[in-house]
Amino acid sequence: MKSFYLTDAGRVRSHNEDSVTILKNNNNEYLLMVADGMGGHRAGEVASSLAVTHFGKRFNEISSVGSKLDAVNWLNDNAGEVNNEIMEYAKENPEATGLGTTLVLALLTKEYLIFGNIGDSTGFVLKNGHLHQVTKPHSLVNLLVETGQLTEEEAKYHPKKNVLMKALGAMEKVDLDIFDVDLSSEAILLCSDGLTNMLTNEQIEKVLNDSELSLEEKIIKLIRKCNARGGQDNVSIAYLEMKESGEEQ
């Protein structure tokens, strides 16, 4: 398997509030994470870093995440711990009140693939050359779309598009949305909304399916495309190729 991750501040923001990483343990299990922080006075990058660092530390402490049920419990236990850490930081640093972070992650073992999500960062799989969105955003506009009050097209340009209904650090108790995903996919793509707000799924697919580019070049090209369109937000991508497109299992 090949993997690569990258983050970029974009063309507008003065600093980067995203955190991203891909980790592998001795049991050949992978943990991919993207967190998009929010909050003033650089608090957003603190929240996203706390989330990614906590999960990474816990992942490196264990030889295996165990069974699928063990993994789900491990994900939610650590999400709860991160949530408490962020809220404690806010109490100790009044200037950071309101900080929080999204978190989308993928946990890949030989037996299963699980996605976890809170907020509006996105998890996809690439299958037969096509992107399939796994996660659902915890945003106000997505709620309005699901209840029939907005169309998907109206949601794209809604003034409250960035209002989140759930995030780490925003409430006393949190649970990740957990998704059990088919292992037959070609690749895993996690990203902050700096990518999905600037490029369509079809535009992303075109880059990922370009056989003349290396894995690293694909991710760099996606970020450059976002910046060429204005780079309105930080962009973070974690990408892992489970198998090459068209390759038999």
pLDDT digits (tens, 9 = 90+) for 142-166: 777 788 888 777 777 777 777 788 9
Task: Give me the residue label for tokens 């793509």.
Answer: 189
Strands across the sheet containing 122-127: 2-8, 235-241, 187-191, 122-127, 130-133
Q: What percent of the chain has pLDDT over 70?
A: 96
Task: Give me the residue label for tokens 């399916």.
Answer: 209
Domains of the chain: 2-241 (3.60.40.10)
pLDDT digits (tens, 9 = 90+) for 100-115: 999 999 999 999 999 9
What is the per-residue pLDDT for 249? 39
- Of 91-100, 151-160, 181-190, the least confident: 151-160
**Do 207 and 143 form a contact (C-beta atoms < 8 A)?**
no
pLDDT digits (tens, 9 = 90+) for 164-181: 889 999 888 998 999 999
Secondary structure letter of residue 207 according to DSSP: H
Query: What is the overall mean pLDDT for the chain?
Result: 92
Kindly state the average pLDDT of the residues 8-12: 94
Kindly state the average pLDDT of the residues 62-70: 96
Orientation of helix 68-92 relative to helix 43-61, angle to 10°: 140
Work out the pLDDT band at 244, boundaries 50, 70, 90: low
Q: Does pLDDT of 80 surpass 70?
A: yes
